[in-house]
Amino acid sequence: CLLAVAAGLWSCSGTQQTSAPKGKVSIIPMPASISEKADSFLLDKQTVIVATNESDKKTAALFNAWLKELTGYELSIADKGDKNAIILHTGNDTTNAEGYTLTVDHNGVTINGNSSSGTFYGVQSLIQLLPVEKARAMFIPGVSITDAPRFAYRGLHLDVSRHFFSVDFVKKYIDLLAMHKMNTFHWHLTDDQGWRIEIKKYPRLQEVSSKRKETMAGRYADNKYDGKPYGGYYTQQQVKEVVQYAADHFVTVIPEIEMPGHALAALAAFPNLGCTGGPYEVGTHWGVYDDVFCAGNDSVFLFLQNVLDEVIPLFPSKYIHIGGDECPKVRWEKCPKCQARMKQEGLKDEHALQSYFIQRMEKYLNSKGKQIIGWDEILEGGLAPNATVMSWRGIEGGITAAQQKHDVIMTPGEFCYFDHYQSKGPNEPLAIGGFLPVNKVYSYEPVPTELNSDEAKYIKGAQANLWSEYINNNDYMEYMVYPRASALSEVLWSPKDKRNYDNFIDRLKVHVKRLELKKVNYAKHVFEVTG
Ligand code: TNX
């Protein structure tokens, strides 16, 4: 036991130890304010969790699941108790809902959440105060924490079109996201290479659009197709399961249905929705395809509205992402229907036609009580009135949108594209390109200096994107995400003046043991990466 304490592991199976060592708290993301005390609480089998509402009981159960991994037992959840207890209190502060306070002393633990999500984040911090080694009894260091996030939107994206990821993997992804106090999962469900959400009105989306004739893994490595058919999609029942799982972890799921570009998989099933009438095949190479939804054809809007009519009830999120990126205009330029539409609507060019497309879809979604998010190309030809912009081609789109008083989520490739290489080591698996080591992620500042303080308020937060062209299995995905997402979580949650890279790396050394407990295949060379 003493050896364990000397090693900074604050746990022991015996009883001699009386307190946790000070200065060893390793919470990621760093809380807004934390003071350590020369005190500690000994959690044992008799400790109870006091939780009085349904949400807190669910959160208590999540704490128990973690504890069980470490100790082999779970705590009982009670309506009252003040000795040897972890007390969860939840208020209803809607202005700073995600904030909480957490105190630990020898009497026990008290968490006051400003709302249920605040209580949940308090419990996440408590989990990170636990030792990372298995033991029967756990010393929790005495602390007093007051915490709340810097940004309201803290996201991670997952592209399941280029490669498909199972429901179990998606749940684990969400679980890890929540552990880092991130609150948004952007689910990129459709693209040229596969349509991955069941739409009951259009079974051909399942039969045709969810499949392609090649897996394409490593295509650019050996420049060969492997000839093995590839496919997968989520049933609506599975989507509901994921959304509920996310809600239990205070994560909002934003679905993305791509339009008007990145639509080849849908066109393969419904060739009449393209300008040329096809035939089309689900994409079998990476990149941008010229064949997109025909903006002159009313059937396209009807199809997309019918799709969205099935998508909307599955996702309680106030946002639906409608893509909008990388839509070549070559087909529209030669399409009589598109040209007629432009004339009829008085649109001066194809960029204005793209804007017409997005605005028409926005109007539909707004009428159903939803707001749209789009990639920064939706600025082309005029922004739809209520749209939120995801700035990915650098930060300029975000600056322009904020200046136009539109909400912005920053996701510039240089800092937020986790499909880029994170090391220059010789054994790195094939990636799309770029170089984004963890220290560079950590250095990211989401609010551009070009904005004045009024404009800066429109920057709601940031997100990392995981495009999966090259990321073709679970281990590889986790390798690309962690610990870079741990770094991003601190950028998004912690006060700017609390960020310190060396200190982060010290905490990360403990934090990766938590990732190991969760069986996460994080990138292990990261401590050597200097950029
Ligand atoms: C650009 S980012 C894309 C994706 C690719 C990604 C690869 C964006 C809105 N579009 O379709 O997967 O680059 O990094």
DSSP code of 133?
A: S
Which residue, judged by its Cα, is nearest atom 9 of ligand 1? 325
Is residue 202 within 8 Å of residue 306, measured between CB atoms? yes
Separation between Cα atoms, residue 4 and residue 52, nearest integer Å: 36
Separation between Cα atoms, residue 144 and residue 331, nearest integer Å: 61
DSSP code of 279?
A: -
Which helix H or strand E contains 69, and what residues bound it? helix 54-71
pLDDT at site 430: 87
Query: How far, in Å, is the centroid of ligand 1 from the Cα of 226?
Result: 23
Q: Report residue 437 as tokens.
A: 């080591």
Q: Which of 98, 147, 191, 455 is catalytic?
A: 191
Count CB neighbours of 505 within 10 A.
18
Question: Alpha carbon of 412 to those of 145, 186, 350, 390, 465: distances in Å?
Answer: 32, 15, 25, 9, 9
Q: Show the domains of the chain with their CATH numbers.
A: 2-147 (3.30.379.10), 153-528 (3.20.20.80)
Which helix H or strand E contains 50, and what residues bound it? strand 48-50
Q: Map residue 36 onto helix, strand or coil.
A: strand
Instruction: Tell how far CA 213 is from the center of its chain.
Output: 29
| CB contact set of 287 (below 8 Å; sequence gap of 6+) | none
Is residue 392 within 8 Å of residue 325, measured between CB atoms? yes
In tens, the pLDDT along 10-33 reads 444 443 444 445 557 999 999 999
Q: Which of 157, 186, 262, 321 is catalytic?
A: 262
Which residue, judged by its Cα, is nearest atom 8 of ligand 1? 325
Q: Tell which one of 193, 216, 390, 465 to mutate to probe ligand 1, the residue whose CB is within 8 A of the most ligand atoms.
A: 465
pLDDT at site 82: 85
Q: Is 351 a known active-site residue?
A: no
Q: Is 93 a known active-site residue?
A: no
pLDDT at site 227: 73
Separation between Cα atoms, residue 462 and residue 22, nearest integer Å: 33
Query: How far, in Å, is the centroid of ligand 1 from the Cα of 306?
Result: 26
Q: Map residue 226 onto helix, strand or coil.
A: coil
pLDDT at site 91: 97
Q: Is 147 a known active-site residue?
A: no
Is residue 469 within 8 Å of residue 219, measured between CB atoms? no
pLDDT at site 426: 86
The closest-lying atom of ligand 1 relative to the alpha carbon of residue 465 is 2
ipTM exceeding 0.85?
A: yes
Query: How far, in Å, is the centroid of ligand 1 from the Cα of 458?
Result: 24
| CB contact set of 344 (below 8 Å; sequence gap of 6+) | none
Which residue, judged by its Cα, is nearest atom 4 of ligand 1? 467
Q: Map residue 341 onto helix, strand or coil.
A: helix
Count CB neighbours of 226 within 10 A.
13
Q: Report residue 187 as tokens.
A: 């689910």
pLDDT-flagged residues of the chain (< 70):
1-23, 215-226, 527-531
Separation between Cα atoms, residue 127 and residue 221, nearest integer Å: 42
**Could you give the angle at which helices 116-129 and 501-517 cross, rounded to 10 degrees?**
90
Pocket of ligand 1 (CB under 6 A): 325-326, 375, 392, 417, 419, 432, 467, 469
Query: How far, in Å, is the centroid of ligand 1 from the Cα of 506?
Result: 33
Pairing of β 371-375 and β 388-391: parallel
Q: Which of 44, 290, 326, 450 is catalytic?
A: 326
Question: Alpha carbon of 26 to those of 102, 156, 183, 515: distances in Å?
Answer: 15, 22, 21, 13
Separation between Cα atoms, residue 331 and residue 328, nearest integer Å: 8
Which residue, judged by its Cα, is nearest atom 10 of ligand 1? 325
- Tokens 């249905």 correspond to 257
Q: Report residue 305 as tokens.
A: 């509205």
Q: What is the DSSP string of 150-166?
A: S-SEEEEEEE-SSS---
| CB contact set of 224 (below 8 Å; sequence gap of 6+) | none
